[in-house]
Amino acid sequence: MRYLSIILFACLTSVQAFSNSISTDTTKYVNDLVRYSVDSGQIFGNFIKAEPCKQEETSAVALIIAGSGPTNADGNNPFLKSNTYKYLAEELGRNGISSFRYDKRGIGRSAEHAPKESDLRFDMYVNDANFIVNDLHKQGYKNIYIIGHSEGSLIGMIVAANNKYVTKFISIAGAGSSADVVLKAQLNEQGEEVGKIAEPMIDSIKAGLTVKYVPPFLKSVFRKSVQSYMNSWFKYDPQVEIKKLTIPILLVQGTNDLQVKVIDAQKLYLANNKSTLRIIDNMNHVMRIVNSESKADNFKAYNDPRLPLAPELLKIVVEFLK
């Protein structure tokens, strides 16, 4: 991330435009494709600007950081189509709040900007987000808000703690414990024997050791090529990182989330007394309301982009940012 080239709005640069204007009942915004060149690769994203070409001291933008896995800027991946981040960004735009969301390196349109799996580190995601924040400031944005979802919560939290240009932070469904603790809990849920085998492997990886023998049924999780990434990820404890924040913090968690629990949000809340905690009844991990205890019904909502985002979530986020 030594160099940046950016395709943005015609009002900022005289470059090729990738924009379409969208009118809504409340305001008008422009949706632009943006390309960052960082670390000899390219990261693509979508910039929604609520008031095109208007630069003021009070200008603000929200950076939306996606969760784990191959989840792209819209909130979709090969296993789900929810349009979660797309709908969130559009709702912010309708309320006069600009936003930028992006495909993390190695994902979606940024697929070509992927290091070898053995070279990938969690800090790369942090550095990319930090670089984007710095550039947004250079573009004239005086208030930069971070909205991190799931794994994006931890990425955004670390950036917000170390970048003076971030003025507000929102965590949606962010884990309350380090990834090694979360992974142990998830694997223990697969059975006591699985947990007994996995726990010492996780401890070894966290200590920086290479686990040479991995049982076939756990190779998808602990294959040698991903162990260095896991080590770089395990070292961050969200409860420690969030304590470093001195800016307003909003923590949002749904009660019907199959992946992150209310107790996670409560741990983050107790770790920083500047935070505000909001629990949304029946909201699931992709920010939809699911009035059912059935896991099948819950997962069905992951692949139904017709479902709107939780109205209470949108109201809470907009009020916090405005």
Average pLDDT, the chain: 87
Cα–Cα distance, 154 to 151 (Å, whole number)? 6
Residues 149 and 252 in one domain: yes
292-320 tens-digit pLDDT: 999 999 999 999 999 999 999 999 999 99
Pairing relation of β-strands 249-254 and 28-38?
A: unpaired
Residues 159 and 135 in one domain: yes
Match 């040479």 to its residue by tokens.
212
Residues 151 and 164 in one domain: yes
Residues 120 and 207 in one domain: no
The CATH number for 104's domain is: 3.40.50.1820
Residues 200 and 247 in one domain: no
13 inside domain: no
6 inside domain: no
Mean pLDDT of 41-66: 77
pLDDT at 36: 75
Please report which confidence band the pLDDT of residue 28 belongs to, taking 50, 70 and 90 as the band edges.
low
105 inside domain: yes
Which ranges constitute the DSSP H helices of 120-271? 122-138, 151-162, 179-188, 192-206, 219-222, 224-234, 238-243, 262-271
| Burial of 218 (C-beta count, 10 Å sphere; 0-12/13-18/19+) | middle
* Last residue within a domain, chosen from 207, 233, 259: 233
pLDDT at 19: 41
| Burial of 41 (C-beta count, 10 Å sphere; 0-12/13-18/19+) | middle
Cα–Cα distance, 303 to 39 (Å, whole number)? 34
What are the beta bridge partners of residue 48? 31, 99
* Last residue within a domain, chosen from 208, 233, 258: 233
11 inside domain: no
% of the chain surpassing 90 pLDDT: 75
pLDDT at 30: 66
Cα–Cα distance, 157 to 161 (Å, whole number)? 6
Please report which confidence band the pLDDT of residue 59 belongs to, taking 50, 70 and 90 as the band edges.
confident
Q: Is the pLDDT of residue 56 over 70?
A: no
113 inside domain: yes
Residues 101 and 226 in one domain: no
The domain tally of the chain equals 2
Alpha-carbon torsion (141, 142, 146, 147), positive or negative = negative
pLDDT at 27: 54
Per the model's pLDDT, the better-predicted residue between 78 and 55 turns out to be 78
CB-based contact 242:271 (threshold 8 Å): yes
Residue 263's alpha-carbon distances to 167, 192, 233, in angstroms, are 26, 23, 21
pLDDT at 3: 24
Q: In the structure encoding, which two tokens stand for residue 93, read together?
A: 């735009």
Residues 108 and 229 in one domain: no
9 inside domain: no
pLDDT at 149: 98
Residues 41 and 113 in one domain: yes
Which of 59, 93, 88 has its CA nearest to residue 76? 88
49-53, 78-82, 196-200, 218-222: range with lowest mean pLDDT: 49-53
2-23 tens-digit pLDDT: 222 222 222 222 222 334 444 4
CB atoms within 10 A of CB 4: 13
CB-based contact 91:174 (threshold 8 Å): no
pTM for this prediction: 0.87
Question: For the chain, how far is it from start to end, CA to CA, in angstroms?
Answer: 32
80-117 tens-digit pLDDT: 999 999 999 999 999 999 999 999 988 888 888 778 88
Q: Is the pLDDT of residue 40 over 70?
A: no
Residues 27 and 49 in one domain: yes
Its domain, for residue 186, covers 180-233
% of the chain surpassing 70 pLDDT: 88
65-69, 155-159, 268-272: range with lowest mean pLDDT: 65-69
pLDDT at 18: 36
10 inside domain: no
Residues 26 and 74 in one domain: yes
Residues 171 and 105 in one domain: yes
Residues 240 and 221 in one domain: no
Residues belonging to the chain? 322
129 inside domain: yes
CB-based contact 255:288 (threshold 8 Å): no
